[in-house]
């Protein structure tokens, strides 16, 4: 016996929950893109551009485990947990911009016939993999190795937009501006207006990583969300206690399996609902011709639900062992230790000491998105090893760190880059005794320096040095060049007490292949171990 016939234009159908859910997805996806767009220097203006990261309960839990306390606004994650306890895992299909991207991809490319769709949307044992991954990440975090940023969907989305999507979008806007005679409109739409094209080292791999995960939807619908997502796994653990859920009336159900046609979470609404896998997409309710499904807390049939995922002892033990093994493998790699650190691993101003930095940084790359000079780059294996992959580092061949800029500290959601003021950055006012924040120290390669090695006059590095008194000074020396002419060479040298490692000397050095002046992290303010001088000599007053 079939259910009542419903016109596609009747009011109840137009106001159905799936339409409300789509509106919610569009709102949060647009809000996310606007937040990334507003992260740029001229638009930041105190807006909470990192709020979605701060609402991520996995960021809250993992950084809490790693550091022992909750930083600033990460308590917003409790709001998402409260919503999950009420309505289940709705974050994945109502709020998460990465989930929206996956659903859109599935909608565009899902060409399977009904029987194949039903089969692809049934629960599979491989979906327990995300719970095993969550256990590995949390165990590593508890020991101080924070790696959830690799797969956390919000971190992954921010990182990809910052380093791959935004520069590509800006290229399109530049092309449109050139076609229309350089109109202001297209430049205003850029993620980084008024700048030359930004480049990011390794952005190809970051973009390819996301493209691969999204492309896997053609193999398994919502592949990332069902198989890998650690945030989804965490919410799945809490959603088993949800008050509201999908409820099936077995007396009205005719076992037609139409509820499987568009099931986003593969939660088996046609049988015993797997509560931890249900995204609350409401598609099954709209697709059911008998109105046998409802989203309610009243009259729930407890026999028609499987609350949580049973990993089993072997999988749980295996995950625990994997996490315990991964921690020493990461930490004993030897790249980020004080005894052996990379000379290119220079962190942004305000960064905490390196071991604590790695306990806090979630690789979201919001700081990279906010940087006005493009000096901040996602780290590769070369600078930071696997543990520090995609964390922010400074590449002074690309840009320099502006003297009065603290934007990266304003957008960091976890305190890996602590909030600093311009006064603290400059060592002024109450911070005068401590002095300015130093990122490292510049050195000269006299074998490549034009005045030292080639008897060619050059004072670029001294001229651009922004500190006062200048950290780069010169000694005048009169020499006879190879053409027999007397020339005065201003040979530069470094005053390490005054150098703050801003990198502008390296950026502007005319020897552009391998710079004659370069900055290393030795002498950085955040570490008493990575020092150049036994003590700072008295700085002359500016």
Based on the fold, state whether residues 141 and 255 are members of the same structural domain.
Answer: yes
269 touches 284 (CB < 8 A): yes
Based on the fold, state whether residues 138 and 193 are members of the same structural domain.
Answer: yes
The domain that holds 505 is classified in CATH as 3.30.70
In a domain, 125, yes or no: yes
In a domain, 92, yes or no: yes
Based on the fold, state whether residues 90 and 211 are members of the same structural domain.
Answer: yes
Based on the fold, state whether residues 471 and 508 are members of the same structural domain.
Answer: yes
- What is each CA distance from 103 to 90, 213, 470, in whole angstroms? 14, 12, 56
Based on the fold, state whether residues 366 and 218 are members of the same structural domain.
Answer: no
Range of the domain at 464: 441-520
Based on the fold, state whether residues 257 and 297 are members of the same structural domain.
Answer: yes
In a domain, 67, yes or no: yes
In a domain, 418, yes or no: yes
Based on the fold, state whether residues 384 and 489 are members of the same structural domain.
Answer: no
Pairing state between β 273-274 and 305-306? parallel
The domain that holds 395 is classified in CATH as 3.30.70.20
Based on the fold, state whether residues 505 and 409 are members of the same structural domain.
Answer: no
248/396 Cα distance (integer angstroms): 61
411 touches 45 (CB < 8 A): no
Q: What is the dihedral of CA 418, 419, 422, 423, to 10 degrees?
A: -80
Based on the fold, state whether residues 251 and 280 are members of the same structural domain.
Answer: yes
Specify the number of domains making up the chain.
3
Pair of tokens at residue 45: 């203006």
Based on the fold, state whether residues 386 and 271 are members of the same structural domain.
Answer: no
Based on the fold, state whether residues 363 and 511 are members of the same structural domain.
Answer: no
293 touches 244 (CB < 8 A): no
In a domain, 406, yes or no: yes
- DSSP symbols for 500-534: ----HHHHH-S--SS-SEEEESTT-TT-SSS-SSS
For the chain, percent helix, then strand, then coil, each to nearest 5?
Answer: 45, 10, 45
Residue listed under structure tokens 């009336």: 249
In a domain, 540, yes or no: no
Based on the fold, state whether residues 389 and 477 are members of the same structural domain.
Answer: no
In a domain, 525, yes or no: no
In a domain, 325, yes or no: no
Tens-digit pLDDT profile for the chain (542 aa)? 344 444 444 445 445 788 899 999 999 999 999 999 999 998 999 899 999 999 999 999 999 999 999 998 999 999 999 999 999 999 999 999 999 999 998 888 876 677 778 888 999 999 999 999 999 999 999 999 999 999 999 999 999 999 999 999 999 999 998 888 777 888 889 999 988 889 999 999 999 999 999 999 989 999 999 999 999 999 999 999 999 999 999 999 999 999 998 899 999 999 999 999 999 999 999 889 998 999 999 888 888 899 888 777 788 888 888 888 888 888 777 666 677 788 899 999 999 999 999 999 999 999 999 999 999 999 999 888 889 999 999 999 999 999 999 999 999 999 999 999 999 999 999 999 889 999 999 999 999 999 999 888 899 999 999 999 999 999 998 887 777 788 888 999 999 999 999 999 999 999 999 999 999 999 999 988 888 765 555 555 54
């Amino acid at each position: 016996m079939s259910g009542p016939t419903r016109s596609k234009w009747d009011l109840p159908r137009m106001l159905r929950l799936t339409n409300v859910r789509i509106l919610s997805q569009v709102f949060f996806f647009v809000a996310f893109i606007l937040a990334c767009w507003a992260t740029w220097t001229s638009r930041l203006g105190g807006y909470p551009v990192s709020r979605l990261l701060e609402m991520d309960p996995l960021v809250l839990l993992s950084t809490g485990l790693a550091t022992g306390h909750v930083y600033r606004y990460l308590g917003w994650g409790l709001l998402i947990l409260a919503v999950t306890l009420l309505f289940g895992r709705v974050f994945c299909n109502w709020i998460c911009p990465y989930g929206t991207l996956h659903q859109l991809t599935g909608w565009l490319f899902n060409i399977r016939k009904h029987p194949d769709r039903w089969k692809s949307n049934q629960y599979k044992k491989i979906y327990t993999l995300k719970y095993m991954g969550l256990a590995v990440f949390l165990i590593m975090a508890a020991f101080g190795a924070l790696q959830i940023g690799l797969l956390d969907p919000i971190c992954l989305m921010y990182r990809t937009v910052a380093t791959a999507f935004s520069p590509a979008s800006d290229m399109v806007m530049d092309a449109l501006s050139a076609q229309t005679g350089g109109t202001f409109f297209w430049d205003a739409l850029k993620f980084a207006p008024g700048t030359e094209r930004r480049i990011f080292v390794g952005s190809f791999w970051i973009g390819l990583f996301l493209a691969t995960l999204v492309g896997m939807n053609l193999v398994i619908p919502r592949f990332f969300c069902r198989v890998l997502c650690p945030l989804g796994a965490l919410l799945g653990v809490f959603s088993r206690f949800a008050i509201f859920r999908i409820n099936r009336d077995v007396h009205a159900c005719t076992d037609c399996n139409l509820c499987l046609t568009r099931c986003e979470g593969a939660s088996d609404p046609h049988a015993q609902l797997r509560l931890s896998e249900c995204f609350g997409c409401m598609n099954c309710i709209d697709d059911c011709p008998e109105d046998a499904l409802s989203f309610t807390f009243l009259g729930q049939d407890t026999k028609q639900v499987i609350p949580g995922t049973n990993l089993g002892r072997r999988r749980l033990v295996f995950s625990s062992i994997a996490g315990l093994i991964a921690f020493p493998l990461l930490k004993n790699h030897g790249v980020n230790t004080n005894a052996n650190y990379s000379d290119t691993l220079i962190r942004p101003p305000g960064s905490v000491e390196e071991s604590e930095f790695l306990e806090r940084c979630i690789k979201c790359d919001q700081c990279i998105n906010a940087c006005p000079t493009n000096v901040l780059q996602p780290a590769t294996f070369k600078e930071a090893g696997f543990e520090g992959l995609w964390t922010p580092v400074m590449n002074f061949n690309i840009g320099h760190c502006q003297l009065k800029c603290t934007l990266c500290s304003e957008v960091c959601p976890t305190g890996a880059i602590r909030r600093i003021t311009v006064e603290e950055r400059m060592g002024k006012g109450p911070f005068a005794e401590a002095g300015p924040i130093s990122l490292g120290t510049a050195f000269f390669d006299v074998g490549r320096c034009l005045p030292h090695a080639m008897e060619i006059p050059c004072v670029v590095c001294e001229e651009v040095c922004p500190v006062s008194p200048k950290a780069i000074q010169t000694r005048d020396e009169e020499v006879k060049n190879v053409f027999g002419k007397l020339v005065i060479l201003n040979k530069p040298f470094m005053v390490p007490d005054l150098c703050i490692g801003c990198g502008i000397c390296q950026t502007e050095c005319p020897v552009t292949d391998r710079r004659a002046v370069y900055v290393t992290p030795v002498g950085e303010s955040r570490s008493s171990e990575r020092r150049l001088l036994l003590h700072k000599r008295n700085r002359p007053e500016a």
